[in-house]
């Protein structure tokens, strides 16, 4: 969990990190979010700053228009009016959003896709998720847009926790890359970073697992590019930190799969793990400004 005080220019005035207590249930996660907001509000008060609004972004299916955390398999909540709950507990106005869409907004406004009106942001970590910006607007579809990790890339592949078979997440998420390497080699690894390290050392099992992940990711991206025609594809999340080890082969395989399509630039995220936090701040500032505008019109009517 990452939090920050963010000024109007997206400058980070104060930051903090704390663990997300998923193992203790969804209620504990809500408590932790409340505690983080309280800590940041107290920091603002000590610095004599006025908090205009809080932005909170979370994983899963998020209906931002209804301020509803619809579902998160990782955290366990369902149809939770999270913004209302946090507003009641903290006294702060809260804008709720989706973590990956917030990351996409930050990369388009401030990062690797700055200036692009059509962009795809892909976060590769424990799972795989994406967010699309089309003609300058985030696609949301009631919170359901962007589930790139559940495109089928291996029709005869392994079962996915979502109920499908051969989803991208089963071959290209950081967790599954580590699990596949352990199963193939018989040598346990903690995460995908270890597989990447062994790949550079010429490990055959690492090469096979990595190539499978690259192929799956390129297949899914080819579908997304066909549908959305982004100018730029930004890869973020922990796995993307492997740099050229991932980007170079994915770029090559994606180019081989495309024919008449607009060919996007494929780049690494510029903001790292700050993207979601900055995106939450951008959402909050937009909502604060909209509220101020409505209040002005209301007072003048």
Tens of each residue's pLDDT in the chain, 301 residues: 999 999 999 899 999 999 989 889 999 999 999 999 999 999 999 999 999 999 999 988 999 889 999 988 778 889 999 999 999 999 999 999 999 999 999 999 999 999 999 999 999 988 899 999 999 999 998 888 999 999 999 999 999 988 899 999 999 999 999 999 999 999 999 889 999 999 999 999 999 999 999 999 999 999 999 999 999 999 998 888 888 999 999 999 999 999 999 999 999 999 988 899 999 999 999 999 887 665 444 444 3
Q: Is the pTM of this model over 0.75?
A: yes
CATH class name, domain 2-102+276-294: alpha beta
Give me the CATH code for the 115-270 domain, please.
Answer: 3.30.420.40
What distance in Å separates the CA atoms of residue 57 and residue 125, rounded to the nearest whole number? 17
Q: Where in the chain is the domain with CATH 3.30.420.40?
A: 2-102+276-294, 115-270
Q: Are 123 and 169 in contact (CB under 8 A)?
A: no
Distances in whole angstroms, Cα of residue 263 to Cα of each of 116, 201, 232, 258, 260: 14, 32, 8, 8, 8
What's the Rg (C-alpha) of the chain? 20
């Amino acid at each position: 969990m990452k939090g920050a005080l963010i000024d109007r220019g997206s400058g980070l005035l104060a930051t903090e990190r704390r663990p997300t207590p998923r193992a203790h249930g969804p209620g504990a996660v809500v408590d932790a979010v409340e505690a983080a907001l309280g800590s940041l509000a107290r920091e603002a008060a000590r610095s004599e700053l006025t908090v205009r609004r809080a932005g909170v972004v979370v994983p899963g299916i998020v209906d931002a228009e209804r301020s509803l955390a619809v579902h998160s398999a990782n955290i366990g909540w369902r149809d939770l009016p999270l913004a209302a709950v946090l507003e009641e507990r903290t006294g702060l106005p809260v804008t709720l959003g989706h973590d990956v869409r917030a990351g996409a907004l930050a990369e388009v406004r401030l990062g690797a896709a700055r200036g692009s009106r059509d962009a795809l942001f892909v976060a590769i970590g424990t799972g795989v998720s994406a967010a699309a910006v089309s003609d300058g607007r985030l696609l949301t579809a009631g919170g359901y847009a962007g589930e790139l990790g559940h495109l089928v890339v291996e029709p005869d592949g392994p079962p996915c926790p979502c109920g499908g078979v051969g989803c991208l997440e089963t071959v290209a998420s950081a967790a599954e890359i580590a699990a596949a390497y352990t199963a193939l080699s018989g040598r346990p690894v903690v995460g995908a970073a270890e597989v990447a390290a062994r790949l550079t050392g010429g490990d055959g099992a690492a090469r096979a697992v990595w190539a499978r992940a690259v192929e799956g990711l390129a297949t899914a991206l080819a579908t997304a590019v066909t549908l959305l025609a982004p100018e730029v594809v930004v890869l973020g999340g922990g796995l993307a930190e492997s740099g050229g080890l991932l980007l170079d082969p994915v770029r090559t395989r994606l180019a081989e799969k495309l024919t008449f399509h607009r060919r996007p630039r494929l780049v690494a995220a510029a903001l790292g793990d700050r993207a979601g936090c900055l995106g939450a701040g951008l959402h909050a500032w937009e909502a604060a400004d909209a509220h101020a505008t409505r209040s002005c019109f209301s007072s003048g009517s």
